[in-house]
């Protein structure tokens, strides 16, 4: 436990940097909504309108296939970060993935709020926020572990020009990633069976004809 606390203190700046990078991505994604053309906005609005109607009718199922689809998507994200951490040239890739994740979240929330006002904000709070409040810390931990391992390679293989002992750091890196992967499976379960229920509570507000009249 003491070693974990010491490790966190040593890497606190990395945690702050990655968290800020996520936040910058969220802001950038929200601003991207304003760059959409009218045709793109109409296409997205039509798709969301149809989805809301389907959801309100209870036709969006939550089953094992949905769970594995969501889980694989999250695990792929972790896998990409893990692979990038194995090499020096992959270090920028970790930062790009973190920024991109923030952009996707910011764009989604920004579009919902921009098109549906407070109803969109309420829908984002039940559909986007809950599982991402869990996903983002997991990705931050994975990213910091990947960046740390990549920096360890730079320090011991390049700058100091020596053959360091990579066995223990590599095992620690793999263990952290595996634990985060297991957490992602739990998050996928939440996203599969709990999130749709919360979404169904808010959807009736969004299928009101006055709310989605712009779609048609």
| Global confidence as pTM | 0.86
- 123-127 — which CB contacts under 8 Å span 24+ positions? 123/199, 123/202, 123/203, 123/205, 123/206, 126/195, 126/198, 126/199, 126/201, 126/202, 127/195, 127/198, 127/199, 127/202
User: pLDDT tens across 102-154, in order?
Assistant: 999 999 999 999 888 888 899 999 999 999 999 999 999 999 999 999 988 88
Q: Mean pLDDT lowest for which of 45-59, 93-107, 200-214?
A: 200-214
User: pLDDT tens across 196-212, in order?
Assistant: 888 888 888 776 544 44
């Amino acid at each position: 436990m003491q070693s974990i606390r010491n490790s966190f203190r040593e890497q606190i700046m990395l945690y702050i940097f990655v968290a800020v990078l996520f936040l910058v991505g969220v802001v950038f994604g929200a601003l991207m909504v304003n760059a959409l053309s009218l045709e793109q906005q109409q296409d997205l609005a039509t798709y969301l309108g149809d989805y809301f109607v389907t959801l309100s009718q209870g036709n969006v199922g939550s089953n094992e296939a949905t769970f594995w689809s969501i889980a694989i998507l999250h695990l792929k994200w972790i896998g990409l970060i893990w692979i990038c951490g194995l090499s020096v040239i992959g270090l920028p890739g970790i930062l790009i993935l973190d920024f991109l994740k923030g952009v996707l979240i910011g764009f989604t929330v920004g579009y919902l709020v921009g098109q549906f006002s407070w109803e969109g904000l309420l829908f984002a709070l039940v559909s986007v926020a809950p599982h991402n409040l869990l996903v983002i810390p997991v990705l931050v931990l994975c990213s910091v572990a990947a960046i740390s391992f990549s920096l360890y390679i730079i320090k011991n293989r390049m700058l100091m020009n020596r053959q360091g002992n990579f066995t223990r750091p590599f095992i620690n890196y793999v263990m952290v990633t595996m634990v985060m992967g297991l957490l992602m499976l739990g998050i996928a379960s939440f996203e599969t069976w709990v999130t749709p229920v919360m979404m169904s509570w808010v959807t009736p507000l969004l299928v009101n004809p006055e709310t989605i009249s712009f779609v048609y």
